[in-house]
Structure 1
Amino acid sequence: MGDREYQVVYFGPQHPGAPGNIAYKLWLDGDRVVKAEVIPGFLHRGFEKMMENRTWEMNVAMSYRFCVEDPDHLEIAYSLAVEDIYRVEIPENAKWLRMIQAEMGRIASHLFWSHFIGGSVGLRTPAYWAVVAREEILKWFARVSGHRVYHNFSVPGGIRYAVPENFKEDTMRVVDFVEEKALDVEEAFLGNNVFKARLKGVGKLTGEEALNLGVTGPVLRASGVKYDLRLKAPYLNYDKVKFEVPVTNSGDSYDRAVVRFKEIHESLSIIKQALEEFKPGEPLRVKLGLTAPIGEGVARVESARGEYMIHIVSQGGRKPYRVRLRSMSMPLLTTVVDHIISKEEVTIADFPVILASLDPCAPDLDR
């Protein structure tokens, strides 16, 4: 940066434009951001190490705490990895329920993102509409699992609880409500001139850049790369349903919004198909021994923000020997931000918009 003097400001974690429990030190040349240094550590609990000192079943309650906004994919990934160690196949009914859980979680996460991006550009009203739609999903989770945010629904071996008798009807009612509200939010954002002016052409990434930086999820697909684990490496029963993988080509903040809204509608379609296949009364879980065999388990899932991979090593016994999670937010908060700042003029007003468009989950850095 040479000998030039810059204004250094502290951005986050209390700043409304900061993406959660994380901060940045920003170097400014006027109102232009020329350097950003990420400062994690505000939520460090050592989750992975804590899981190595808890039993297999206790760790379900630890697994989803890596990302508060999208806990269901983590819960499912942990269960899949443990099932890989045990070499068991869960019942078909459990697979369909996990898919419904995962897609409900994806929609809830994208709706919550709508709230954040709306706040970043000053469009609060449609942001609150998104929260209203998300609230119906949280209520649905509470009726199905007994919990609003963290669910303990998917466990090693299948599904912990039997679903309510009116599960199909109740789920379809929520799907219809969310579909209508999501369309309202989408139209209010994507058609708004302020939203377009603040997001179009800002924070651009080409497909090649995104791949080189380790990006996955909606940010990668907004850069023209049609990569989705549900399609490329299907798990559960994703190979038995029909859905599109939304892709755009501009790679800017606006296109990331377009992709997420399209994904909401695809998720709703997947839920409807899974509901048709779900058969009430059939088995939901296979019983696993309290002591795990020696071996390794690996699971990869397509979360709302990209690819999560969890690797678990078992030496036998009641607890895992090692637990390791591949964070999809690490590149978004580090290399991607640095790359964007280095190649385009990012103002202090653009910075929170870019962060919101990337939609990182800061706690999954502080594991």
Structure 2
Amino acid sequence: MADRYTLYFGPQHPGAPGNIGFRLVLEGERIVSAEVIPGFLHRGFEKMLENRKWENSFVLSYRFCVEDPDPFEIAYAEALEKIFRIEPPEKAKYFRMVQGEFSRIASHMFWVHFMAGSVGLRTPAYWALAAREEILKWFAWVSGHRVYHNISVPGGIRSDVPEGVRETTINLTYRVEDLVRDVEKALLNNRVFRARTRGIGVINGLKALELGATGPVVRAGGVRYDTRKAAPYANYSKVEFEIPVGEYGDAYDRAVVRFREVYESLKIIRQAIGEVRRGDAFRVKIPLTAPPGRGYARVEAARGEYTVHVISTGGRSPYRVRLKSPSMPLLTTVLDYIIKNEEVTIADFPVILASLDPCPPDIDR
């Protein structure tokens, strides 16, 4: 123990993934253990949702993860629809898919910014933000908001789609695809990036799944699991797309899988937006008072599976709201496994963190 020492890493550190810290125990440059220190952004969303009326509680639902806000918004709307026993119009289901997939792409491009920055590659990082900006402009045009969008509400979508949404959206998908391909080449083909990520942070997909992980971390390890296929929601069962998987489960494979996911998301958007027509029914309004019941929804977000569980005892507010995010296992069980089974140095630690792509705010919920 005399050769070991403790180092506090984050939250005020450029290599930390946001509002979270770590208590690292090191032997020389090798990390022996990493204890997560959450709570820097605790917001109490579950209790705030329980103390608001049904008609205004869902405005909090999309604030759990600023990088990928829309999946929670969609999941909370679906959970409430099950309590109120309401089926949203087909148009709303398809447009929710467009909303969710654009959110995934924007999140993955934000991830590139952190991932490339962790190895000192600023050019692809800035190019990725340019691609993300095109999507934020689309969200601002559709909803009036750049970051939090408030598009999906219980019963459907808040308002009808703008005139020309189909043509504008399809054109955007091709523009974003061109930008993303440039980012992909600049990052994945860079020899520095390959050297810093190949063989780093290795975890098998089945093991990651056993440890509670979902999303790209599992798929990069070779497991073809995706909630959109395993438990389809909205109209994902009516569109065609593939589930990209990796081979080695290292930081490089996680990068490859995320880029491939972007192209699959663009395919989904083009199919879904073709079913959206201005003037068709877009929303069924919910009553002010809910019946007793349970609402449970699962959605596939950029980091994995989000779940929302809402209990109603009747009345004007939910009795209990429980939210489950994919970030906690990434920073606990998965990270512990990698450190115990691999020689992780202090230089590798920010790279591994970035490759896992956690969203610390959705831990402090």
TM-score range, shorter chain: over 0.9
Which of 310, 313, 316 does residue 311 from structure 2 map onto?
313
Distance 1:98 1:320 in 2: 23
Name the aligned partner's letter for residue 98 of structure 2.
Answer: I
Q: How far does residue 318 in structure 1 lie from its aligned partner after superposition?
A: 1.2
Moved over 4 A (4+): none
Tell me the residue number matched to 1:74.
72
Tell me the residue number matched to 2:280.
282
Q: How far does residue 54 in structure 1 lie from its aligned partner after superposition?
A: 0.6
Distance 1:213 1:72 in 2: 25
Tell me the residue number matched to 1:105.
103
Distance 1:211 1:107 in 2: 23
Matched, 1:357 2:355: yes
Matched, 1:200 2:198: yes
Name the aligned partner's letter for residue 180 of structure 2.
Answer: A
Distance 2:292 2:69 in 1: 27
Name the aligned partner's letter for residue 58 of structure 2.
Answer: V
Tell me the residue number matched to 2:130.
132
Name the aligned partner's letter for residue 210 of structure 1.
Answer: A
Tell me the residue number matched to 2:292.
294
Q: How far does residue 169 in structure 1 lie from its aligned partner after superposition?
A: 1.9
Any idea what SS the aligned residue of 1:277 has? coil
Which of 173, 185, 188 does residue 187 from structure 1 map onto?
185
Name the aligned partner's letter for residue 88 of structure 1.
Answer: I
Matched, 1:143 2:141: yes
Tell me the residue number matched to 1:152.
150
Structure 1 residues 182-235: Cα deviation after superposition (integer angstroms, max 9, x where no partner): 000111111110010000000000123112211100000001100001111111
Distance 1:184 1:76 in 2: 31
Which of 52, 73, 86 does residue 88 from structure 1 map onto?
86
Gaps of 5+ in 2: none
Any idea what SS the aligned residue of 1:236 has? coil
Q: Which runs of structure 2 are paired with 1:166-315 in the superposition (5 Å)? A: 166-315=164-313
Structure 1 residues 34-86: Cα deviation after superposition (integer angstroms, max 9, x where no partner): 11111000110111011100112222221111111110000000000000101
CA contact (8 A) 2:49 2:58 kept: no
Comparing 52-61 with 220-229, greater Cα deviation is found at 52-61
Tell me the residue number matched to 1:21.
19
CA contact (8 A) 1:200 1:252 kept: yes
Name the aligned partner's letter for residue 332 of structure 1.
Answer: L
Any idea what SS the aligned residue of 1:312 has? strand
Structure 1 residues 238-270: Cα deviation after superposition (integer angstroms, max 9, x where no partner): 010000000112000000000000000000000
Structure 1 residues 5-55: Cα deviation after superposition (integer angstroms, max 9, x where no partner): 322211111211111110111111111111111100011011101110011
CA contact (8 A) 2:205 2:217 kept: no
RMSD: 0.8
Tell me the residue number matched to 2:56.
58
Distance 1:324 1:83 in 2: 16
Any idea what SS the aligned residue of 1:311 has? strand
Any idea what SS the aligned residue of 2:174 has? helix
Distance 2:43 2:238 in 1: 39
Name the aligned partner's letter for residue 286 of structure 2.
Answer: L
Any idea what SS the aligned residue of 2:32 has? strand
Give the number of equivalent residue pairs.
Answer: 365
Distance 1:343 1:355 in 2: 16
Name the aligned partner's letter for residue 315 of structure 1.
Answer: T
Tell me the residue number matched to 1:333.
331
CA contact (8 A) 2:162 2:278 kept: no
CA contact (8 A) 1:23 1:39 kept: yes
Q: TM-score, normalised by structure 2?
A: 0.99
Q: TM-score, normalised by structure 1?
A: 0.98
Tell me the residue number matched to 1:43.
41
CA contact (8 A) 1:32 1:346 kept: yes
CA contact (8 A) 2:206 2:218 kept: no
Any idea what SS the aligned residue of 1:25 has? strand
Any idea what SS the aligned residue of 1:150 has? coil
Tell me the residue number matched to 1:6.
4
Q: How far does residue 364 in structure 1 lie from its aligned partner after superposition?
A: 1.0
Which of 96, 116, 119 does residue 118 from structure 1 map onto?
116
Name the aligned partner's letter for residue 136 of structure 1.
Answer: E
